[in-house]
Amino acid sequence: MARLGIELGARTLRGVRLEGWYRTRARTVEIEWDREHPAEAVAALRQHLGPAPRIALARTHIWNEASEAMRAAVETAAKAAEDFNALVDCWGGNVVVDDPKLLNAKRPVAPIDLADNIKCPILGLFGNDDENPNKDQVNRLEAVLKKLGKNYSFHRYDGAGHAFFNASRVAYRAEQAADGWSKVFDFFHKHLG
């Protein structure tokens, strides 16, 4: 069975079509997208990569536009809820906004305020030494998801900060990243078939 994964950037979507679990074949394509029309972007990726009955959205890297990318990830999952079967958030900063000055015309609401619209299961991986999101923000995000009755699973790692999956950064933590990737693949296997 083919699965389609999407990594969300501030201006681009990267789609990966996977076939097989153990001897995986992959095709990738990257397209520019309009955050106001996420369903069109998903349709374009499906057109380029072929049909897939299940689809996942992942936000696993930090960009200069990190808050925009995370907001876009949550909004995309909310607006195109019927298109996604799984959502992965690895250390997503600025999901909880403590300083109202961070909200503006491009970002009128905090992503946490859109959580009610997410219909798919959520996996969250966070470093306990991260400052964005910090432990309190992760706790508040988890409390909101629990209150809303969302299907979610959060995992927190001691000795890990922001971007601990990124092997090219000082923040990389091999043991925590390996465990996190195992959880991501198990999550995808469970929800994508």
Q: What is the pLDDT of residues 117-138, one digit of tens each?
A: 888 898 999 999 999 889 999 9
pLDDT at 74 over 60: no
% the chain with pLDDT above 90? 22
Among 123, 97, 110, smallest CA distance to 187 is for 123
Half-sphere exposure of 18 (CA within 13 A, CB side): 18
In the chain, the number of structural domains is 1
pLDDT at 156: 96
28-49 pLDDT, tens digit per residue, is 666 676 666 666 766 776 676 6
Mean pLDDT is lowest, of 36-50, 73-87, 116-130, 155-169, for: 73-87
- Identify the CATH number of the domain in which residue 131 sits: 3.40.50.1820
Residue 86 structural domain: 53-192
Which positions ≥6 away from 141 have C-beta within 8 Å?
A: 95, 96, 112, 115, 124, 133
pTM over 0.85: no
